Amino acid sequence: MNTYNKSMALTGEPPKSLSIGQKLAVLLGLSGLGILLLAVLNVGFPNKTLWLTLSLSAISIGIIWFSWNAYSNKLPGIKNDGVWFKSISSRGLWGWVAGLALTGFYIVLYFYPEYLGLVSEGDNKGVIGLFDPLSKFLNGGPASQWFVYGTLYTVAILVFGIKFLWKYRHNRYEKLRTLSVMFFQTGFAFIIPELMARLNGHKILNGGSLPYYDLKNIWPLNYYNFEGYRIKMFLSSGDIGFALLIFGILSIFVITPILTYKYGKRWYCSWVCGCGGLAETAGDSFRQLSDKSTFAWKVERWVVHSVVVFVTLMTTAVIYSYLGTDTSKYWLTKSSFLIGVAVLLTLVFGWAMIFKRDQLQKDARYGAIGYFVIIIALIGFHFFSGEGEVFLFKSGTLRKSYSFLIGSIFSGVIGTGFYPIFGSRVWCRFGCPMAAILGFQQKLFSRFRITTNGGQCISCGNCSTYCEMGIDVRAYAQKGENIVRASCVGCGICSAVCPRGVLKLENGPLEGRIDSNQVLLGNDVDLMTLVNKK
Amino acid sequence: MEHIVIIGNGIAGVTAARHIRKLSDKKITVISAESKYFFSRTALMYVYMGHMKFEHTQPYENHFWKKNRIELVQGYVTKVNTEEKSLQIDGAPDLNYDKLIIATGSKPNKFGWPGQDLDGVQGLYSKQDLELLEENAPNNKVCKRAVIVGGGLIGIELTEMLRTRDIPVTFLVRESSFWNGVLPQGESEMINEHIREHHIDLRLGASLKEIKPDENGKVKSIVVEETGEEIECNLVGLTAGVTPNIDFLKDSGIELGRGVKVNRFLETNIEDVYAIGDCAEQHKAIGNRRPIEAVWYTGRMMGETLAQTICGNRMEYKPGHWFNSAKFLDIEYQTYGWVFSEQRKKENEAHFHWRHPNQKICITIAFDKDSETVLGINTFGIRLRHEIFDGWLSEKRTVDFVMEHLRDANFDPEFYKNFESDIVAKYNSDFGKSIILKKKNLKRIFKIA
């Protein structure tokens, strides 16, 4: 059907062609990347501060210039012209090239940082060396591959955030949301932890050292938050360290449920979270590539919930492994901890099964039962198995496999590297345990929903196409049904692209939140009552 | 097993099929010459604009039809024999039916203009029209200028589409202002301005005299009736409304007017033959509606109703309050109830109009001069909550009540700047009232006691 000739040329015809300004902007941006690449190849730069500034400025200005050129001469409104004609945003050749390049970057970053110039003893070389002056300026120490990554990540969210702000300048929800992710990334993920590192050894921390802590990075997304070395660091850092540890626990068990009840999981996933922040800004051009099939939805439910089980087991194992057995030394022991975990899981599970049975899809129910049994069984195994092992495995093995499979491969290599192939939210949708937990609550116990406006839907499909989470929004809207889905991150784009004003993200009473109508508003009142009565 | 055959797989036919399946086990066959699977016609424009691929316009996955035992036949029905209850189909074997539903939709109007069948002249209705447009106007080198004839909803959509490929467009609108047969003057003028700010050459009070060919029988230019001006172009879009697509029924014995004549039960003059959607024509218009309603929503509603009749619960087509929506380039439009233009306005209909001082946002409320009951509302750039306004119309609320509760009806995304206080201030000053705007109330909105 699509007779439009897809070509990889940067020229081409409107709406996919680039203006002269945009071509120059691309060149400028690439030159900035070029400097980084030269640094990777160990080209020595005499004045690192100058060259790093040049490089980051060239990248930033290139992107901002490009965006300005794209949107400034157009009236405010939806800017999706040519999205499916452009090679980069429709899985064309440039899409694959970008995907492979990003994937390659992640593999090197996670597994071969020495190629980036990481030197454990002595001065860094390569591109990491190039970032040393900035690192020393912020936290007093030399850069690591994570510092380089964190800086580039923040720059990406900021400059693509500016692009997004222009693109959606008619939409205040989108603007505020984007300013929010830009703020949280810059402040909480980047600057605060770097400055906190300067306090290490200070008397305010009783001479202790705080672990690197991005306060908004909550367990289980931050799967290592409760590991032994971090707990030791927290506890060695006086009242501040202790407060941070308590904050980490409260984040997941108290703060998160309250906010999710009031606003849905969007308060986190599309307003605060760093992964979400990158997806919404740098990943925005790829949101339409998510798979909307019911098959993908099925895979999503199985995979993401398996990750939750995995991370729960792993964290339990890790904490278990460093706890003692003597109650007189410390109130929390191996056994009381395990019992605590089991009780908590049972409470949550029992609540869902008893009060929310009707809202759970059949397979979700089976899945929940299955996983519950596994966890209980594994905990049971412990009481019948010997010392040194938790559940069936050594905790260290579990920790390492999680970190490799989920922390690196899933969230990084696949999650971000494949943006141009699978869309921008692969990690959030299929992999993130935090998203799954928030989603579970959003589905069952939250005021948030996307309201469908009576009978106004024309089934056009813009909402589904531009849903980054692969939700077939239209399937609900055309039935006059509100959208209440665990995976919805509340980005608001479905509502923005709807040409008929059908969708509204809002918080309201739980009563009547999920409304399924066989016959939609607009028809004979008698028929509607006849058919819609439950 | 009773065999229900539906000609046409648009919103009307497919809605009927889906609801018949929900209610019964009857055998269902849907015939279409246009496309294998149901797609959203209103979304075709987004395919040309590159917002979506054609697959995205299909609301159901391909396995849906088999799973729901709805058989799909691709072919063009050439003859309906109502005595033998059989269909002749070009492209597929003949079929027999027990009940026949005609849901064949519309085709673009042609008013006998000289040159209307030339190469490069087309309407925009079907999937084939879209494919033709890709040939006629793939870019601004092949199509150096396009002329669109007819200032309605499809006209402005086609104009928007072509502009995304930087094709210069001249937009001929017969009326003195865009769509002012339907829209009140203030709104119509605002859309005129918006069309022009999109660099579209809008010609008001201009109609088509003739289309001239080049030596190859392709469009070369058009001549404007009123001025005699000749405009060179490579594409002429004919978007002056649509007509029921019923030529194949000429000798079938089914009573035809402009469309297939139906009674309030959507039954034709022949037993077991029904018509729904764009192609159905009511003997007598329902309320303020037109006898032929070529609108997505009415197609859907007729499908929902007829499914009941077919499945043994004979039911009259009784549409509720009129509503509609559209998007004029960047401006969303919604309407509930009836707001008539100055030309069609009834004697007792009064209007309240507010327009934002510099943004393209406005609102018009029609009410009865005597009782002050609200008759309808048009909004541009403001979304309204369908259920709330529908309820107010049913409850016959006064314009004062609507003004007071206007915030409840707002459906704009969160954090949008709202203009209710400006609107009510203007209302108070226009009519010497002192309405105090109420706060938005979730209990009222979600109808919780």
pLDDT digits (tens, 9 = 90+) for A425-453: 999 999 999 999 999 999 989 999 999 99
Q: Which two tokens stand for residue A514?
A: 């999920």
Q: How confident is the model at residue A526 (pLDDT cuts 50, 70, 90)?
A: low
Q: Which two tokens stand for residue B443?
A: 């209990």
Q: What local confidence, expressed as pLDDT, does residue A534 receive?
A: 45
Q: Are the CB atoms for B5 and B29 separated by under 8 Å?
A: yes
- Asked if B286 has any chain A CB less than 8 Å from its own CB, the reply is no
Q: Tell me the one-letter amino acid at B219.
A: V
Kindly tell me if the per-residue pLDDT of A485 is higher than 90: yes
Q: Which of A145-159, A201-215, B238-252 has the lowest mean pLDDT?
A: A201-215
Q: Which two tokens stand for residue B378?
A: 């048009």
Kindly tell me if the per-residue pLDDT of B337 is higher than 90: yes
Question: Which ipTM did the prediction report?
Answer: 0.95
Which of B36, B305, B386, B412 to mutate: most A Cβ within 10 Å?
Answer: B386
Name the H helices within A360-492.
362-384, 395-402, 419-422, 426, 433-444, 462-465, 473-477
Q: How far apart are CA B286 and CA B264, in angstroms?
A: 9
Kindly tell me if the per-residue pLDDT of A287 is higher than 50: yes
pLDDT digits (tens, 9 = 90+) for B181-192: 999 999 999 999
Dihedral pair phi/psi, residue B223, rounded to 5°: -115, 135
Structural element, H or E, at residue A172: helix A172-184
Q: Three-state secondary structure along A314-348?
A: HHHHHHHHHCECCCCCCCCEHHHHHHHHHHHHHHH
Q: Are the CB atoms for B377 and B339 separated by under 8 Å?
A: yes
Instruction: Provide the Cα torsion A417, A418, A420, A422; round to 10°.
Output: -160
Instruction: Provide the Cα torsion B13, B15, B21, B23; round to 10°.
Output: -120
Q: Which two tokens stand for residue A373?
A: 């049994």
**Shortest Cα distance, chain A CAs vs residue B215, angstroms:** 27
Q: Which residues make Cβ contacts (< 8 Å) with residue A361, sequence separation at least 6?
A: none
**Shortest Cα distance, chain A CAs vs residue B226, angstroms:** 32
Q: Are the CB atoms for B256 and B292 separated by under 8 Å?
A: no
Dihedral pair phi/psi, residue B438, rounded to 5°: -85, 155
Angle between helices A334-355 and A362-384 (to 10 degrees): 160
Q: What is the percentage of chain B residues whose pLDDT exceeds 70?
A: 100
**Shortest Cα distance, chain A CAs vs residue B205, angstroms:** 26
**Shortest Cα distance, chain A CAs vs residue B331, angstroms:** 8
The verdict on a CB contact (< 8 Å) between A454 and B414 is: no
Per the prediction, chain B carries an average pLDDT of: 96
The verdict on a CB contact (< 8 Å) between B300 and A455 is: yes
For chain B, give the number of residues.
449
CA geometry: angle A298, A299, A304, nearest 5 deg = 110
Nearest to B352 by CA among B406, B295, B428: B428
Average pLDDT over residues A189-211: 84
Kindly tell me if the per-residue pLDDT of B69 is higher than 80: yes
pLDDT digits (tens, 9 = 90+) for A229-284: 899 899 888 888 899 999 999 999 999 999 999 999 999 999 999 999 999 999 99
Q: What local confidence, expressed as pLDDT, does residue A384 receive?
A: 63
Kindly tell me if the per-residue pLDDT of A382 is higher than 80: no
SS3 B307: helix
Kindly tell me if the per-residue pLDDT of A10 is higher than 80: no
Q: What local confidence, expressed as pLDDT, does residue A255 receive?
A: 95
Number of inter-chain CB pairs under 8 A, A vs B? 213
Which residue is listed with tokens 């949101």? A287
The verdict on a CB contact (< 8 Å) between B51 and A458 is: no
**Shortest Cα distance, chain B CAs vs residue A435, angstroms:** 23
Contacts of A13 in chain B (CB under 8 A): 138-141, 165-166
Kindly tell me if the per-residue pLDDT of A2 is higher than 70: no
Q: How far apart are CA B83 and CA B387, in angstroms?
A: 45
Give the pairing type, strands B331-337 and B323-328. antiparallel
pLDDT digits (tens, 9 = 90+) for A384-423: 655 556 656 677 787 888 888 888 888 888 888 899 999 9
Q: How confident is the model at residue A121 (pLDDT cuts 50, 70, 90)?
A: confident
Average pLDDT over residues A197-203: 82
SS3 B380: strand
- Name the pTM for this structure: 0.94
Which of B53, B133, B314, B443 to mutate: most A Cβ within 10 Å?
Answer: B53
Q: What local confidence, expressed as pLDDT, does residue A1 receive?
A: 43
- Which residue in chain A has the smallest CA separation from B40? A460
Interface of B with A in 79-118 (CB under 8 A): none
Q: How confident is the model at residue B135 (pLDDT cuts 50, 70, 90)?
A: very high
The verdict on a CB contact (< 8 Å) between A523 and B315 is: no
Kindly tell me if the per-residue pLDDT of A60 is higher than 70: yes
Q: Which residues pair with B31 in a beta bridge?
A: B7, B73
Per the prediction, chain A carries an average pLDDT of: 87
pLDDT digits (tens, 9 = 90+) for A359-374: 776 666 777 777 777 7
If one compares A393 and B196, the residue with the highest pLDDT of the two is B196
Q: What local confidence, expressed as pLDDT, does residue A8 receive?
A: 44
pLDDT digits (tens, 9 = 90+) for B400-432: 999 999 999 999 999 999 999 999 999 999 999
If one compares B446 and A364, the residue with the highest pLDDT of the two is B446
Which residue is listed with tokens 């039962």? A369
Name the H helices within B254-355.
296-310
The verdict on a CB contact (< 8 Å) between A508 and B22 is: no
The verdict on a CB contact (< 8 Å) between B332 and A478 is: no
The verdict on a CB contact (< 8 Å) between A14 and B166 is: yes
Task: Give the CA radius of gyration of chain B.
Answer: 24
Q: How confident is the model at residue B334 (pLDDT cuts 50, 70, 90)?
A: very high
- Asked if B317 has any chain A CB less than 8 Å from its own CB, the reply is yes
Contacts of A492 in chain B (CB under 8 A): 413-414
C-alpha pair distances (Å), B194 with each of B154, B161, B190, B247, B358? 16, 15, 6, 38, 12
Kindly tell me if the per-residue pLDDT of B256 is higher than 90: yes
Kindly tell me if the per-residue pLDDT of A532 is higher than 70: no
Interface of B with A in 365-404 (CB under 8 A): 383-387, 390, 394
Q: Are the CB atoms for A503 and A512 separated by under 8 Å?
A: no
The verdict on a CB contact (< 8 Å) between A523 and B416 is: no
Q: What local confidence, expressed as pLDDT, does residue A202 receive?
A: 82
For chain A, the straight-line distance linking the first and the last C-alpha, in angstroms and rounded, comes to 42
Which of A11, A179, A457, A458 to mutate: most B Cβ within 10 Å?
Answer: A458
Average pLDDT over residues B26-45: 97
**Shortest Cα distance, chain B CAs vs residue A360, angstroms:** 23
The verdict on a CB contact (< 8 Å) between A453 and B42 is: no
Q: How confident is the model at residue B237 (pLDDT cuts 50, 70, 90)?
A: very high
B304: left (phi over 0), alpha (psi -120 to 50) or beta: alpha
Q: How far apart are CA A517 and CA B351, in angstroms?
A: 34
Q: What local confidence, expressed as pLDDT, does residue A7 receive?
A: 45
